Every structure is written in C-alpha cells, then in structure tokens.
A and B are shown apart, each in its own frame.
Chain A
Amino acid sequence: MNSRHPPPFVKALLGSLKDLAPILLVITFFQLAVIGQPLPNLADMLVGTLFVVIGLTLFVQGLELGLFPIGGSMAHAFARKGSLFWLLAFAFALGFGTTVAEPALIAVAREAAQVAAEGGMIGRDPDSMSRYARGLRYTVALSVGFAIALGVLRIIRGWPVHLLIVGGYLGVLLMTLVAPKEIIGIAYDSGGVTTSTITVPLVTALGVGLAAAIKGRNPMVDGFGLIAFASLTPMIFVMAYGMVVT
C-alpha cells in the first residue's frame, strides 16, 4: 500500500477523531482547570470514546460504500422518471427509512424513554420503554417521510416555500397549546436531531436531482426547502404522539 495515500479507512478514522476532538478538548480543559476532580469510571469512558470513534468511522465508511452511490443515483432516476406517484412514494420511503437508521435519533429516543419511565409517564419495565422509544422514532420517521413527499410535491407544483414553512410554524404553535407538557421538550428537539448523517445527503440528492430535471429551478433553494420542512414536521407529529400516549 502506498504510504503517501492513507487507505480510506484510516482517512475516515482521522475524520471521526477530528469530529470528536473539540468536545474532548473542552471537557478535558473543564475537568483539569475548572472542576479539578477526576472523572468517575475513567477506563469505561476511554473505552467508550474509542467505540464511538470506531463506530462512527465504520458507519460513515459503510454509507459511502453502500448507500450513498445507489441512493443518489436512484434519487436522480426517480426525479427524471416522470411518474408522480412513484416519485412521491420514493420520497416518502427515503425520508422514513433514513430517519429510522439515524444514530443520534436512536440514542435520544432511548434516553427519552428512560426519562419518561422515571417520570412515571410510561411503565418502568424494559418492554414499555422500548415500545415508547420505537414509537417515538417511527413517529419522527413518518413525519420526515411526509415532509419530504410534500416538499417534493411543492417543488413540482412550484408552490412558494414560505407557505409550507409558515404553515408548519403555525402547526407547531397550535400543537404546543394542546400537547401535554412532558412531550414538548423532546418534540422540539426531534426537529434538530432528525436531519443528520444519513438523511441530509440523500434528501439533498433528491432535491438537487429534481431541481435539475425541472427547468428554471434553483437547486440550492429547492434542496433547502426539503430539509427545512423536514425539521419542522417532527415537532408537530411528536406532540401528537405525546397526546396519544398519555
């Protein structure tokens, strides 16, 4: 192997280390200079950090090997195919599938289930906790799928993007008034959590492919509409989920 060009795996490993470095620097500084106390379970934390680095590296590497090339080419193919039904079905399925596999969402949903169990909102047994976490994630995934499909329809029909955004905000506002207080924090968070590692590149590919296939569209503006809307609808849907669960 040529030593001047590190193998892709090493490059990806360095990349995830770089992602983690600022957090570790800030935490180390605060531990040493401000708090001045040793961290509990230091060995566990070092092993865990190593796991996070390895995991993130493999995950990103796997996406680039398997999912991104075919996902991107499929998005382009559907954007050009001309069948509105299949395009919308693909948009929905893509948003749903990528969101279910989003690592940050899996982690946050598990944490939310634990908090809800400790707060007495759901049962304390592992069964109802994992049911709650799964329900939360599938709700978010449904809402992202819905948002992507609606966003694609908007691009095709040429509806102004403000309409969807302002409508979405009004929806958030109204749901906040009626949703149980316990769900509001996690609902607001789910908007920012969903649009992450897997969803953004694939959805952007769909938006760009679509904007390129329709004359007179700006890829940047149209791609943006998809992501912005996909971080709005989870808030509304999760608040609805909270009303159903409690």
Chain B
Amino acid sequence: MKLLHGLLHTTAATLLDVLPIALVIFGFQLLVLRRPIPNLKRMLLGFFYVLVGLAFFLEGLDLALFPLGKAMAAQLTDPRFLVGLTATSPPGNLHWSDYHWVYLFAFAVGFATTIAEPALLAVAIKANEVSGGAIGVWGLRASVALGVAIGLVLGTWRIISGYPIHWFIIGGYVVAVTQTLFAPRLIVPLAYDSGGVTTSTVTVPLVTALGLGLASHVPGRSAMLDGFGLIAFASLFPMVTVMAHAQIAQWRLNRKRTKATEQ
C-alpha cells in the first residue's frame, strides 16, 4: 500500500517533468510548423509510457540504487573491514592507501558498466569506419572503459584524501585540450563524445550515491563539500584515454611505415 502510494505520488510529480517537452513538441508542431500531429494516439501512448516509466524508475532508485550505493560505501569504508577486526584503533588514523577496496570497487563499476554500454558500441563502430580500421572496435571500447575506471578511482581517491576537485578537473581539461592539438583530427569529436556517452541513466545515480556515501563515512569529509564530482571525473577521463589510444595507434603505424621504408 505504501509502495502504491509512493508510485502514484511520484507519477503526479513527474507530470510536471514531462510537461515542458510535450509543450515544445505540440506547440512548435501545431503553431509554428502548422502541421497536424501524425499518429496522435501512438504519441499520447508514448507520453503515458514515459510518465509511468519515469515514476517507476525514480521510485526504484529510492528503494534500491541510492541505498545500495550508500550501503556499499559504508561497508567498504568501515575501519573494522579495512584493517581487520581491531576496533581498538581510532577511526581517524586511516591513511588514504588503507581504502584500497574502495578504489578496486570504483574501478570495477566503471569498467564493467562502460564496456557493456550499447551507446558506446555504436560510437566504436563509427570510429573504426572513420579511421579506416586503425582504431579497433575493442580497442576503443577498452580505452573508454579504462578512462571511466581511472576517472572513478581518481575521483574516489580525491574524496578520501580531500583535495579540491577543481585541481583535478581543470588539470584534466588542460591535458585534454593539449592532446586535441596533437591527436589525429578525426578522433577528436569521437573522444569528446565518448565522455558524455559513458555516463548512463543507471550508472549516474549509483555513482552519485557511492560518492555521497564515501564522503559521509570517511572521517573529516563532508557530503556537501566532497561528495559530488565522481560523474565529472567519469566523463572527463575517457576523452584523455581515447585520444591517447589514437595517438599510440598512429605512432605505431608511423613507426611501422618508417621501418618499411628503411628496409
């Protein structure tokens, strides 16, 4: 009963979220383009699905993914779990390197969710075509997944160590922009795209919950100051690894060519 009530309440609330795009579509189609709506029944059914789907998704997040991310963060940062069952040592004395399971978990989540991302496969196939086969489909997928994984590890390390986030993000962008100048030109748009592609609708809430959970369980950190930022890391580092991957592929190709001409 409580579940049903929550669902109904969320459905009513999501009506407001779907309203703007519905207004945009109907308004521009009828008033500006002055054309009738094709398949009106199908479209209304579609909007109904979107509405109910959004409500189920948000309720499910509150029930499962948010608590799950926070529970994992709590369990993985528990001092008794990290340094054995010696509850005698005060929790303030943990070094950032004691949290190795957190980094491993972040790496695994980043790599596993990205390598299975369908949108990424489409981008990888395109990259393979554009580069004339120099960039393999698997190579690109692996380099994006590695980028997300490294991003999340760095991001969790930042939360635990407490360094200001803008050092990392601005530093990362400086690296990415510098690479843009030297990377093969056709890979650049794909590299920039890959950053946005990876952070899917399911990954974002879980990773956010993980960050907030970490920040509230690691001594000396606050959820408000340190909890956010993992998504930013996860969308920045794939740009760097994808361009690096293309640069290495090009460098190897050039070396092969010069070797061939020397002989």
Contact = CB atoms under 8 A, between A and B. Distances in A.
B119 to A, nearest CB: 8
A66 B53 contact: no
Given A108-B208, A193-B199, A74 B17 contact: no
A159 interface: no
B75 A193 contact: no
Given A56-B57, A56-B201, A77-B33, A65 B25 contact: no
Count chain B CB atoms within 10 A of each CB in A45, A115, A173, A182 and give the residue with the most: A115
B3 to A, nearest CB: 7
A172 B222 CA distance: 23
Contacts of A74: 25, 28-29, 33
Contact of B228 (A56, A121, A165, A188): A188
Contact of A93 (B24, B170, B222, B234): B24
Contact of A22 (B14, B71, B112): B112
Which one of B22, B212, B224, B225 has the greatest number of beta carbons of chain A within 10 Å? B224
B202 A48 contact: no
Contact of A118 (B71, B116, B224): B224
Interface string B26-40: 011100110101110
A100 B17 contact: yes
Chain A facing B: main interface SS:
helix
A111 B50 contact: no
Interface in A90-129: 90, 93-94, 96-98, 100-101, 103-104, 106-108, 111-112, 115-116, 118-119, 121
A interface, size bucket: 35 or more
A181 interface: yes
Given A107-B58, A228-B192, A101 B50 contact: yes
Interface in B157-207: 165-166, 169-170, 173, 177, 180, 189-190, 192-193, 195-197, 199-206
B21 A97 contact: yes
Given A27-B68, A66-B46, A197-B201, A59 B75 contact: no
Contacts of B212: 111, 115
The 5 A-B residue pairs with the shortest CB-CB distance in the complex, in nearest-first order: A66-B46, A48-B64, A48-B63, A62-B49, A51-B60
A103 B212 CA distance: 19
Given A61-B49, A100-B21, A101-B21, 5 more contacts: A19-B116, A67-B46, A70-B43, A107-B66, A172-B170
Contacts of A15: 118
B124 interface: no
12 contacts: A19-B118, A25-B112, A54-B60, A62-B45, A64-B46, A66-B46, A67-B47, A74-B28, A97-B21, A98-B21, A176-B170, A228-B196
Contact of B224 (A49, A86, A119): A119
Contacts of A54: 53, 56, 60
A50 B165 contact: no
A23 interface: yes
B240 interface: no
A163 interface: no
B38 A45 contact: no
B229 A188 contact: yes
Nearest to A218: B189
Interface range for B: 35 or more
Interface of B: 3, 14, 17-18, 20-25, 27-29, 32-33, 35, 37-39, 42-68, 71-72, 75-76, 81, 101, 105, 108-109, 112-113, 115-119, 126, 130, 165-166, 169-170, 173, 177, 180, 189-190, 192-193, 195-197, 199-206, 208-209, 212, 222-232, 234-235
A22 to B, nearest CB: 4
Contacts of B44: 66
Contacts, number: 313
B155 to A, nearest CB: 10
A51 B63 contact: yes
B53 A59 contact: yes
Contacts of B63: 44-45, 47-48, 51
A121 B224 contact: yes
Contact of B112 (A26, A37, A50): A26
Interface of A: 15, 18-23, 25-27, 29-30, 34-35, 37, 39-41, 44-67, 69-71, 74, 77-78, 81, 86, 90, 93-94, 96-98, 100-101, 103-104, 106-108, 111-112, 115-116, 118-119, 121, 141, 162, 165-166, 169, 172-173, 176, 181-182, 184-186, 188-189, 191-193, 195-198, 200, 220-221, 224-225, 227-228, 231
